[in-house]
């Protein structure tokens, strides 16, 4: 089952490398975004009422992509197991993003050398802040901050639960990846202080992203060959208002020895200089290497999950009972104590 999980991860990454993100008209995440746009309205007259509505949105809305993804894999598996695995790989593909992130970051970096209007226009796909007065170096800082943060949001957060759950159940693994992407989308569209309806979505995203953000920071440190950058990042990782985004951003800043700053919000590694174009190119390569490290993490988790599953099957499913008279041994598939000494091969079980 580990090999199947690796194949599905490879399929997702291969599709991302070949075609990048699908156009919005064909992208399930964009479809979900349109639904979120419909929900983003004044449902109540008070902030408290809006927060209560937002709580229901945070609980129920991500179940829609999760149910659709899990159901699609379940139906495909009923046709053929390979079809189910292929659909699960496609779900992971549309739930994650790497190529588009790196390409957009590179586009912004290139435009900072003489075409600031293009840089300010393109960077809107990465950050939501006002960029109209940012200098070229500040634009590069914003792009690198987003690249490191979106490594966690766009890849690690969906790939890790998929890898853990795929050996247990492909529909559940696909549903988990789609659910996480739904939570991320809710936060990106509603999770602003000015939107009471997004308060619950922001809190849920903080909870979901706690581990992926720190795994991404570790992946960046390992990819840079500077594990100490993770330790140094602790001084600034908690500076941003988000409990998670500061970890990959601060680790990238420390690994590259650059300053990443958002005016009025945070200043990471402030004793260093703002990133040059060369620093930006190094950062893009480093985030790409960190993504590869994260894939290795996912494969290891899949192997551990498969091993735990096999151990549980072997320890609790098949039992051999010896008859009290000289007759052939009887194998009973039930979780009861073994009373005889006869050994019976246990068939491999895959979920």
Cα–Cα distance for residue pair 326/29, rounded to 1 Å: 64
**pLDDT band, very low/low/confident/very high, at 333 (cuts 50, 70, 90):** very low
**pLDDT band, very low/low/confident/very high, at 344 (cuts 50, 70, 90):** very low
CB hemisphere CA count around 87 (13 angstroms): 22
Question: How confident is the model over 133-160, as pLDDT tens digits?
Answer: 999 999 999 999 999 999 999 999 999 9
CB 140 within 8 A of CB 55: no
pLDDT greater than 50 at residue 165: yes
Looking at residue 141, its pLDDT comes to 97
pLDDT greater than 90 at residue 66: yes
Cα–Cα distance for residue pair 39/198, rounded to 1 Å: 10
Look at phi and psi of residue 257 and say left if phi exceeds 0, alpha if psi is from -120 to 50, else beta. left
**28 Cβ partners below 8 Å, 6+ apart?**
65, 68, 94, 178
pTM: 0.86
Positive or negative torsion for Cα 18, 23, 28, 29? positive
pLDDT greater than 80 at residue 61: yes
Mean pLDDT value across the chain: 90
Report helix, strand or coil for 58. helix
pLDDT greater than 80 at residue 331: no
| CA triple 246-250-255, angle to 5 deg | 155
Q: What is the mean pLDDT of residues 232-258?
A: 96
CB 291 within 8 A of CB 219: yes
């Amino acid at each position: 089952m580990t090999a199947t999980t690796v194949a599905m991860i490879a399929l997702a990454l291969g599709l991302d490398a070949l075609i990048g993100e699908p156009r919005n008209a064909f992208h399930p995440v964009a479809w979900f975004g349109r639904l979120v746009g419909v929900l983003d309205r004044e449902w109540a007259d008070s902030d408290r009422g809006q927060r209560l509505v937002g709580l229901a949105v945070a609980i129920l809305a991500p179940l829609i992509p999760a149910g659709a993804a899990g159901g699609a894999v379940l139906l495909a598996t009923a046709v053929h197991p390979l079809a189910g695995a292929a659909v699960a790989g496609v779900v992971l593909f549309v739930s994650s993003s790497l190529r588009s992130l790196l390409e957009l970051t590179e586009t912004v970096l290139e435009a900072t050398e003489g075409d600031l209007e293009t840089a300010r226009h393109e960077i809107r796909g990465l950050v939501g802040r006002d960029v109209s007065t940012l200098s070229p170096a500040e634009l590069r800082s914003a792009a690198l901050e987003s690249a490191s943060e979106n490594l966690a949001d766009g890849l690690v957060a969906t790939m890790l639960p998929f890898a853990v759950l795929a050996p247990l159940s492909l529909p559940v693994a696909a549903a988990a990846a789609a659910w996480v992407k739904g939570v991320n989308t809710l936060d990106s569209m509603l999770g602003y202080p000015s939107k009471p309806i997004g308060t619950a979505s922001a809190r849920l995203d903080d909870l979901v992203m706690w581990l992926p953000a720190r795994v991404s920071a570790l992946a960046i440190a390992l990819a840079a060959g500077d594990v100490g950058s993770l330790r140094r990042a602790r001084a600034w990782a908690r500076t941003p208002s988000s409990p998670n985004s500061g970890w990959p951003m601060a680790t990238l800043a420390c690994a590259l020895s650059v300053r990443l700053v958002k005016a009025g919000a945070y200043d990471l590694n402030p004793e260093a200089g703002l990133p040059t174009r060369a620093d930006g190119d190094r950062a893009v390569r480093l985030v790409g290497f960190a993504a590869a490290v994260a894939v290795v993490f996912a494969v290891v988790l899949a192997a551990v999950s498969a091993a735990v599953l096999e151990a549980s099957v072997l320890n609790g499913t098949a039992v051999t009972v010896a008859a009290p008279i000289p007759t052939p041994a009887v194998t009973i598939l039930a979780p009861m104590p073994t009373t005889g000494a006869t050994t019976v091969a246990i068939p491999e079980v895959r979920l």
